[in-house]
Amino acid sequence: MRNAAETRDKLLETATGLIWQSNYSSVGVNEICKQAGVTKGAFYHHFDTKADLYVAASRHYWEGMKRDLDAIYSPAYTPLEQLENLIQLIIQKQISECICRDLEVAGCPFFTAGGQAGIDDIKIRRAAQEMEEHVQKYSVALVRGLKGEGVLNGDPDIEQVARFLHHFIQGLLVYGRLMNSLDAVRADLREGLYRLIDLKDEYRIAESEQPYSKASDAA
């Protein structure tokens, strides 16, 4: 029999998985409880509403994402290596997190749910916004590092370019999920990032190359 902490974690993991496979609006409390193997009473012991579960699940998911980002953006890597780590992590996450074998691209369930939220779904939108703000800080640090290394053309606005990067990645993952094709993501990911940050030609690499042996270890 699960203890309270195990039950709560199971609800968080189940909710995240179901939202990934479907969407926030179509996943109900009954389905979450059924898949998690818990009673509705146990659900409401931990969460007042499905929205409260969503908020807790988004924060639970962020803790895992933060560990990944801390690893790939470690000071042990140069800014160019960090960029390569990011490219590899995005692809690897799609492979590891597609819990449905018929789904090639998972995307981010919380970004998607936040975009689908109605004007009254304040908790949902705010949770998604919080995650965006967290990720933006890492993107800003990456672009600042690349600019400081002198590998970018011109004098880009660091925060604006960081937003461009994150929005492009999320949009590409939505497209890849729509097409149900990881190859569609691979085809445009690297070149799209290079163009957005305006990386100097001499630092660009072909998709088939593996320039940084440490990158896959970080992810």
Closest CA to 73 of 139, 130, 133: 139
Q: Is residue 188 part of a domain?
A: yes
Q: Is residue 169 part of a domain?
A: yes
Token pair of 154, please?
């011109």
Q: Is residue 128 part of a domain?
A: yes
The CB-side HSE value for 38 (13 A sphere, CA atoms) comes to: 27
Q: Is residue 117 part of a domain?
A: yes
Tell me the average pLDDT across 156-160: 97
DSSP state of 25: T
Report the helix count and the strand count for the chain, using DSSP H and E: 10, 0
Q: Over the chain, what is the mean pLDDT? A: 85
Q: Which is more confident, 162 or 28?
A: 162
List the single range of 82-86, 118-122, 137-141 with lowest mean pLDDT. Answer: 118-122
pLDDT at 101: 60
pLDDT at 179: 92
pLDDT at 210: 53
Are 199 and 146 a contacting pair, CB within 8 Å? yes
Token pair of 57, please?
């699940």
Q: Which is more confident, 121 or 31?
A: 31
What is the band of 155 on the pLDDT scale with cuts at 50, 70, 90?
very high
CATH of the domain at 97: 1.10.357.10
Strand partners, 199: 152
* Beta strand ranges found along the chain (DSSP E): none
The CB-side HSE value for 103 (13 A sphere, CA atoms) comes to: 20
How many distinct structural domains can be found in the chain?
A: 1
Q: Is residue 125 part of a domain?
A: yes
Residue 92: domain span: 58-208
Q: Is residue 66 part of a domain?
A: yes
Percentage of the residues of the chain whose pLDDT score is greater than 70:
84
pLDDT at 121: 76
> pTM of the predicted model, to two decimals?
0.82
pLDDT in tens, 107-137: 776 666 655 555 557 888 888 888 889 999 9
Neighbours of 10 (CB within 10 A): 17
Are 146 and 152 a contacting pair, CB within 8 Å? yes
What is the band of 33 on the pLDDT scale with cuts at 50, 70, 90?
very high
pLDDT at 28: 86
Percentage of the residues of the chain whose pLDDT score is greater than 90:
53
Q: Is residue 25 part of a domain?
A: no
